[in-house]
Amino acid sequence: MTAPARRMTPQRAEILAELRAAHDHPTAADLYERLRPRLPRLSLGTVYRNLDLLVAAGLAAKLTAAGAEARYDGRPAPHDHARCRACGAVADVPALPEPDLPRLPDGFAVEVRHLEYVGLCATCRRRVGAHAAPAAGLAPGA
Amino acid sequence: MTAPARRMTPQRAEILAELRAAHDHPTAADLYERLRPRLPRLSLGTVYRNLDLLVAAGLAAKLTAAGAEARYDGRPAPHDHARCRACGAVADVPALPEPDLPRLPDGFAVEVRHLEYVGLCATCRRRVGAHAAPAAGLAPGA
DNA sequence: GTAAATGCAAATTGTTTGCTTACTG
DNA sequence: CAGTAAGCAAACAATTTGCATTTAC
């Protein structure tokens, strides 16, 4: 039950600082690259280990996209996300005041709500246009 | 622009049928296992290829959790999800009529909204109790 | 001094891809 | 027939893990 004592190493401090300073929801590899100038011996494994820790501690959120690399968010205030399905970029959007919770499964205890809008950002919209948009001629039923 | 002509193979039909019949948001491997009795020569690669196709066609949705395996949802009606962070199970929840969209990035074209409630299901709540709940003694600021 | 954390590399895991053969339209 | 899809295995990419060494407390 007692969580192991934590040590504040330079790596840990820098990872947390960098994540908090970042506005672009960096991936683990992004953070690794950004920190390497300052911490030349840093390893990617350490980045992953510390990110996991931060997430477990509630200090960061892990954002997972379909297939893509996980991105991390170090901002505490509740907000939602807009993700471009073409370039993968994730932007913050202000949280709507949500009226109430839906009919959840019996006994389910909600801890966090994760709301994401997926679509095309302005740049990709111009470049790829209407692509693979919901439309099909594949299935018999529905 | 012209999508390649699609053929309806037995594998494709079975995968789609199984996904539609499933109520538990199966992973690709789940579907593979369920179909093997009927299609002994089926390969996992085929399952993935067809699921991608179904998703691209808008007939299925790919649900990605933090780190975990992707799960697939073959139900057309818009609804949201409740995911247990302990056992990974995903249940459907009725969609709340969402009033309007938040202030999205300039020029962002929303295609889908993805809303997920993460927490503990009744079973896991009992078993693991209050675990790794948002609480920490790790960071200096905030 | 001691347990926790790092660095490094190897191991896992989920998913994708290349290529040959089979089969739908 | 023409060309898509399946099967299989190898390739890949992201993430995790084992272990010896370092380091914060």
- Residue A116 CA and nucleotide D25 C1' are separated, in Å, by 42
Is pLDDT at A2 greater than 90 in this prediction? no
The set of residues, in sequence order, having a beta carbon less than 8 Å from that of B79 and lying 6+ positions away, is B92, B93, B94, B95
pTM for this one? Answer: 0.83
Which chain A residues contact residue B141 at CB under 8 A? 20
- Phi, psi of A9, rounded to the nearest 5 degrees: -90, 160
pLDDT, tens digit, 9 for 90 and up, residues A76-135: 788 999 988 888 889 999 988 766 788 999 999 998 888 899 888 998 888 766 544 444
Compute the mean pLDDT over every residue in chain B, rounded to the nearest whole number.
85
Which of B11, B19, B110, B115 to probe by mutation at the A interface, max A CB count within 10 Å? B115
DSSP string, B48-111: HHHHHHHHHTTSSEEE--SSS--EEE---S-EEEEEETTT--EEEEEPP-------PPTT-EEE
The set of residues, in sequence order, having a beta carbon less than 8 Å from that of A62 and lying 6+ positions away, is A51, A55, A70, A71, A72, A73, B66, B67
Whether residues B111 and A118 touch (CB distance < 8 A) is answered with yes
Which chain B residues contact residue A93 at CB under 8 A? 102-105
Instruction: Report the chain B residue with the minimal C-alpha distance to residue A132.
Output: B56
More confident: A33 or B118: A33
Whether residues A103 and B117 touch (CB distance < 8 A) is answered with no
% chain B with pLDDT above 90? 51
pLDDT, tens digit, 9 for 90 and up, residues B25-36: 999 999 999 999
Strand C nucleotides within 7 Å of a protein CB? 3-10, 13-18, 23-25
